[in-house]
Structure 1
Amino acid sequence: MSSISISSKGNMMSSSSAPAGLGLSSGRLFTVGLVSSWYLSNIGVLLLNKYLLSNYGFKYPIFLTMCHMSACSLFSYVAIAWLRVVPMQAVRSRLQLLKISALGLVFCASVVSGNVSLRYLPVSFNQAVGATTPFFTAVFAYLITVRREAWITYLTLVPVVTGVVIASGGEPSFHLFGFIMCIGATAARALKSVLQGILLSSEGEKLNSMNLLLYMAPIAVVLLLPATLYMEENVVGTTIALARKDTKIVWYLLFNSSLAYFVNLTNFLVTKHTSALTLQVLGNAKGAVAVVVSILIFKNPVSVTGMLGYTLTVIGVILYGESKKRNK
């Protein structure tokens, strides 16, 4: 009897531990799948933007951004209102809507400037400049909120900036206007993150990133429509004429716009299932992967000096993240 009892207990233990192991394994696979999807969508939209705006010759960065925002508007509504990926958060007041609109304007400036820069700069250099986001975040945080960081945190920003200066000097495809646009995109991205923390800081106004995108994306479309019609003359007619000659442009735009939304969705899900710090570490690695992939695909010339500068910037960003974590 006792042997049967022991045997049954052993079986029960092994049967209960198996699902737990399977659950842990499936959880890890899910996280790996999420991170892989985030990497693929981020790098994919970046490379496709570069291909359309530079190699393919579709020279309409504002219109391309408007396509992205239109897709984000549609897919955000489907994901939140129909699929209930996250609970819908309502806009509570006109003042909150005004704040969201201000963020939408800065967001537009960031995406448009980034797309414009891709017309003139290789992805590798674009990513090197984009890695200086922590520098601009620290500057805007100090100027707007007068919030000071520890001196060691500011010290880590020295290699961040120095690396970009070195990379700029060693970049064979350097273009001044493209560089200015890329700096503008990076600064606008940092400004949005600082303003978001200030404008939507009260408990009644906090929105998760998916709900914020739901409200910002349509506002961005409204802002971008007159801009593209005025600044990119006959863009609709040219796009239609191009589509008649080559239908692939339609599929490029549809896929590219869908990827733009998927970047935001996977960014939210990776943060939710890991942590903001993990996302930061993965983001640093993503930039390096994007640089390597873009060089392999577009075969743009790179110099040893440029790669050393980019490496120094990434090291500075990692040190900045560590410093912020320790001084919390």
Structure 2
Amino acid sequence: MNKKLITAFYLILNIFFSIVIVLLNKWLYVHIGFPNITLSMIHFVITFIGLIICEKFDVFCIKDIAIKEMFFIAMAFCGFVVLTNLSLAHNTVGTYQVAKMLTTPCVIIMQMIVYNKHFSILVKLTLIPIILGVVINFYYDIQFNIIGTVYATMGVLVTSLYQVMVNIKQKEFQMDPMQLLYYQAPLSAVMLFFIVPFLEPIEQTFARSWSLIDIAMVILSGIVAFFVNLTSYWIIGKTSPLTYNMVGHSKFCLLLLGGSLIFHETLAINQVIGITLTLVGIILYAHVKMKDTQMVVSDCEDKERKPLHKV
């Protein structure tokens, strides 16, 4: 099959699965009231089973690493999945999606403070419309609630920490995202297994008579979550960062539309302004980062072309 057609196919799949997982999880919270942390644990178990199957088909190879090296990143993985799901459960789909955009400036600020990493003035300027847009959207959200805002804020912080940790672990152990996920998923599932009895009504969960449709939707949610990861890693590995960013923008817009149509979420005009500002900021950030990367690559190539001078 043509390489461009394969790439297009994976891009479409990623957009489809990414939209379905958010809308499906929201449906489970709204119509079934399925426990959040329990759902996250099921996702981790299904993801691990999916990874075992992928490894058998040589999609990736397992890299031996001490379990203790994965403990803290698994904790961060738990936190980011659970908190973002709690944000989705307590906020509108639109507000949930806009809040996630704060991860970009948060990661940059963390890298500047903790690792003393430097970013260009243009990169820093693109963060202004992103942050301003998110604040406007939250302020004018007609379903605004303090708990939802707290979960969204904590989700952004833990997600940003997780992304920084993944970047460090990948470089430290020369592992790709799927190799990392192979260790994270089961560890995170075990952690949540011990946490669930203290935070969720486990007796009510088992006592309730779940219909076959309810159970099927929960399992489907876990399978879709796995395919989101699988297609995302393929796109990151096989295409450019710009392509991946553009896919992200498409998902952003389609999820807002999906939330409006399926859950009848209305957007105030001020929210539309906030969402537009956030989207513009993200697009500008992607554009500036691509330019910076191209300049670095160009400088390296120029240095390689220069002949060595004999003394």
- CA spacing shift, 1:214–1:199, aligned 2, 3 Å: closer
Shift of 1:241: 3.4
| Corresponding position of 1:18 | none
Distance 1:31 1:245 in 2: 39
Instruction: Kindly indicate whether residue 272 of structure 2 is the aligned counterpart of residue 307 of structure 1.
Output: yes
Distance 1:116 1:207 in 2: 30
Q: Which amino acid aligns with 1:206?
A: Q
Alignment map for 1:240-319 (pairs within 5 Å): 240-242=206-208, 244-319=209-284
Bigger Rg, structure 1 or 2: 1
| Corresponding position of 2:287 | 322
Distance 2:228 2:177 in 1: 12
Shift of 1:197: 2.0
| Corresponding position of 2:85 | 115
| Corresponding position of 1:211 | 179
For structure 1, list consecutive stretches of 5 or more residues without a partner in the other structure: 1-22
Shift of 1:99: 3.4
For structure 2, list consecutive stretches of 5 or more residues without a partner in the other structure: 294-311
* Cα root mean square deviation, aligned: 1.5
Query: Would you say the 8 A contact 2:32–2:214 is kept in 1?
Result: no
Please report the TM-score for the alignment, with normalisation by the length of structure 2. Answer: 0.90
- For residues 199-230 of structure 1, the C-alpha deviation after alignment (integer angstroms, 9 at most, x for no partner) is 4423xx12111111111001101111111111
- For residues 32-58 of structure 1, the C-alpha deviation after alignment (integer angstroms, 9 at most, x for no partner) is 211111111111111111111123322
| Corresponding position of 1:159 | 129
Please state whether the residue corresponding to 1:300 is helix, strand or coil: coil
Alignment map for 1:86-235 (pairs within 5 Å): 86-91=60-65, 94=66, 97-202=67-172, 205-234=173-202
Shift of 1:88: 2.4
Please say which of residues 276-285 and 291-300 is displaced more in the overlay. Answer: 276-285
Shift of 1:115: 1.0
Query: Would you say the 8 A contact 1:103–1:192 is kept in 2?
Result: yes
Query: Would you say the 8 A contact 1:72–1:217 is kept in 2?
Result: yes
Instruction: Among all aligned residue pairs of Structure 1 and Structure 2, give the percentage whose two residues are the same amino acid.
Output: 25
Query: Would you say the 8 A contact 2:170–2:176 is kept in 1?
Result: no
Query: Would you say the 8 A contact 2:130–2:281 is kept in 1?
Result: yes
Distance 2:45 2:169 in 1: 24
Distance 1:317 1:66 in 2: 31
Please state whether the residue corresponding to 2:266 is helix, strand or coil: coil
Shift of 1:29: 2.2
Q: Which amino acid aligns with 1:136?
A: C
| Corresponding position of 2:306 | none
- CA spacing shift, 1:200–1:29, aligned 2, 3 Å: closer
Query: Would you say the 8 A contact 1:54–1:120 is kept in 2?
Result: no
Shift of 1:258: 0.7
- For residues 245-288 of structure 1, the C-alpha deviation after alignment (integer angstroms, 9 at most, x for no partner) is 52211101110011111110010112222123311221122111
Alignment map for 1:39-78 (pairs within 5 Å): 39-58=15-34, 60-78=35-53
| Corresponding position of 2:300 | none
| Corresponding position of 2:304 | none
- For residues 271-312 of structure 1, the C-alpha deviation after alignment (integer angstroms, 9 at most, x for no partner) is 222123311221122111111112111111211110110110
- CA spacing shift, 1:245–1:85, aligned 2, 3 Å: closer
Please report the TM-score for the alignment, with normalisation by the length of structure 1. Answer: 0.85
Q: Which amino acid aligns with 2:179?
A: N
Query: Would you say the 8 A contact 1:113–1:182 is kept in 2?
Result: yes
Pairs aligned (count): 293
